[in-house]
Structure 1
Amino acid sequence: MPDPFIMVAPNGARRTKADHPALPVTLPEIVDTARTCFAAGAHGLHLHVREASGAHSLDAGRYRETLDELARAVPDMRLQITTEAVGLYSVAQQLDCLEQVRPGWASIAVRETARDMDLAPRVYAACADMGCDVQHILYDTDDIALVKDWQARGIIHPDQSSVLFVLGRYSPGQVSDPSDLAPFLAALPDAPDWMLCAFGPQEHACLIHAAKHGGNLRVGFENSLVDANGAPHANNAASVAALVHSLESASS
């Protein structure tokens, strides 16, 4: 089994410390989580920033400040920002965030970008112009069909081929199963660069299954707070460490 790239998604847009006291919200907490997760085996970090109130934010200033701090604290960790709307931000605001932050890597949900077809080509063109790698967030095979259509029409540029398959986000109780990966691979069998994340207690089982199929992995509190037995992970680094241990066991 090849060694997958492991990205930690430590907080997401919706969860709070009421969900888990170790969920990182403030800048110091995010930086400390990055350090411990990198030490545990994570190669990259999927970044969400929050307002002072704890609410999800696409504020460019907050992003730039956090990216700068992370670059100093974990210079060898690859950083990705989210453009997730969470029902709060328009495509125009998402585009403005990208243009102001100018990140090296960003995740973009095609179903969100499709809300404004006048701006959709500008989103991908802006990323291409600034040298920002795009990872398309795909929740189902309809999203895959949309990506294929936009690639054929030139809305998505040829080198913007990286995708994240998301399991369980819209299933009852946000529970995923390793078998949920099959429709994604059937719909996009030749994806050159794909990653998986999975909601619920079977998160790690889904990730191990993806690794066996050549996928990269995203793990962390954005997707699951608990292990397969329903016991909470102590923190994000504990989840990363447990995944790394499982990968080593599966490879031996």
Structure 2
Amino acid sequence: MHLPKLMVAPNGARLQKSDHPAIPITLPEMLACAADCAKAGADGLHLHIRDQRGHHLLDAGVYREAVAALAQQCPDLTVQITTEAVGIYSPAEQRAVALESGCAHVSVSVREISRDGPAFATQLFADCAARGIHLQHILYDLADAELLAGLVPAAQLSSPDLQVLFVLGRYSATRNSDPAELDPFIGWMDALGIRPDWAVCAFGAGETACLLRSAKLGGKCRLGFENSTLMADGSIAPDNTARVAEVAALLAKA
């Protein structure tokens, strides 16, 4: 099961309507956003759910309801849930959601899930594999990449089915990304002689340039208001759909 070529991440864990009025918070808003983004060219959706106050939520039951609703609304859209801790949830709670949500696609931060030690992380990876759950490993820097390399067996590390996400600009001083930030990750893959199923997400005004470089080098793209609310020219995007349509058109020309 391969990663979608163009995955939309519409809301993330932190943004509110005060940040942008088109941030989808409720399930009906997410369903409408998903349908519009699918029509605009997205083939995947990275799902964060919120509680009744609009705060980040990890809850397997709520995820099951949301994933089922999305499958009915957008049957051709690959849905991936997050296990992001956001400083709230423990690795054990992240593990429970990954295994019990009923979703076949899950993203997990390598540094977060390793907080309770490498054995905990490797057991989660093995349990997900046994249940047919496809994990995308989130890597914020080379230290995360090297951590992942030490956690997975050599055969898995060299498999083209290993899914990773390279995050650009998340911890930069300006919260803005640059396509050159991809170079260390490419170098890491080259040094190990591996080519996993990889994608890029990028923060701030550099998002579009980073995504285009990712696609040029054989990677996939994740975009959306979780990472940036800006169009390619730096103007504020009206909604996630506009960003998907813009990037889809640029990728088609590349």
Structure-to-structure mapping, 1:140-179, within 5 angstroms: 140-152=141-153, 161-179=162-180
In 2, distance between residues paired with 1:158 and 1:40? 32
User: CA shift at 1:155, angstroms?
Assistant: 9.7
Aligned residue number for residue 50 of structure 1: 50
Aligned residue number for residue 14 of structure 2: 14
Q: 1:210 to 1:153 in 2, by over 3 A?
A: closer
Amino acid in structure 2 at the alignment position of 1:168: G
Q: TM-score, normalised by structure 2?
A: 0.93
Aligned partners of 2:160 and 2:197 also within 8 Å: no
Match of 1:243 among 224, 230, 247: 247
In 2, distance between residues paired with 1:227 and 1:93? 36
Structure-to-structure mapping, 1:56-71, within 5 angstroms: 56-71=56-71
Q: What does the per-residue CA deviation read over 1:62-103, in whole Å, with 9 as the maximum and x for residues that have no partner?
A: 101100100000000001000100100000001111222132
User: CA shift at 1:152, angstroms?
Assistant: 3.9
Q: What does the per-residue CA deviation read over 1:2-60, in whole Å, with 9 as the maximum and x for residues that have no partner?
A: xx810000000011111100000100000000000000000000000001111101111
Gapped regions of structure 1 (runs ≥ 5): none
Amino acid in structure 1 at the alignment position of 2:236: P
More displaced stretch, 84-93 vs 97-106? 97-106
User: CA shift at 1:246, angstroms?
Assistant: 1.2
Aligned partners of 1:204 and 1:228 also within 8 Å: yes
Q: TM-score, normalised by structure 1?
A: 0.93
Match of 1:213 among 217, 222, 245: 217
Aligned partners of 1:121 and 1:156 also within 8 Å: no
Aligned residue number for residue 32 of structure 2: 32
In 1, distance between residues paired with 2:241 and 2:90? 33
User: CA shift at 1:158, angstroms?
Assistant: 6.2
User: CA shift at 1:191, angstroms?
Assistant: 2.1
In 2, distance between residues paired with 1:209 and 1:101? 34
SS of corresponding position for 2:14 = coil
Aligned residue number for residue 186 of structure 2: 185
Aligned residue number for residue 96 of structure 1: 96
User: CA shift at 1:126, angstroms?
Assistant: 1.9
Q: What does the per-residue CA deviation read over 1:86-136, in whole Å, with 9 as the maximum and x for residues that have no partner?
A: 100000001111222132010011000110124222211221121000100
Q: 1:154 to 1:115 in 2, by over 3 A?
A: farther
How many matched pairs?
A: 247
User: CA shift at 1:244, angstroms?
Assistant: 1.0
Match of 2:237 among 207, 228, 233: 233
Aligned partners of 1:124 and 1:155 also within 8 Å: no
Asked if 1:197 corresponds to 2:178, the answer is no
The alignment yields a C-alpha RMSD, in angstroms, of 1.8
In 1, distance between residues paired with 2:159 and 2:219? 20
Q: What does the per-residue CA deviation read over 1:170-211, in whole Å, with 9 as the maximum and x for residues that have no partner?
A: 001210011111111001232231000000011011101110
Aligned partners of 1:121 and 1:155 also within 8 Å: no
Percentage of pairs with the same residue: 48
Q: 1:91 to 1:69 in 2, by over 3 A?
A: same
Aligned partners of 2:16 and 2:23 also within 8 Å: yes
More displaced stretch, 173-182 vs 31-40? 173-182
In 1, distance between residues paired with 2:99 and 2:106? 11
Aligned residue number for residue 137 of structure 2: 136
Aligned partners of 1:26 and 1:50 also within 8 Å: yes
Q: 1:153 to 1:5 in 2, by over 3 A?
A: closer
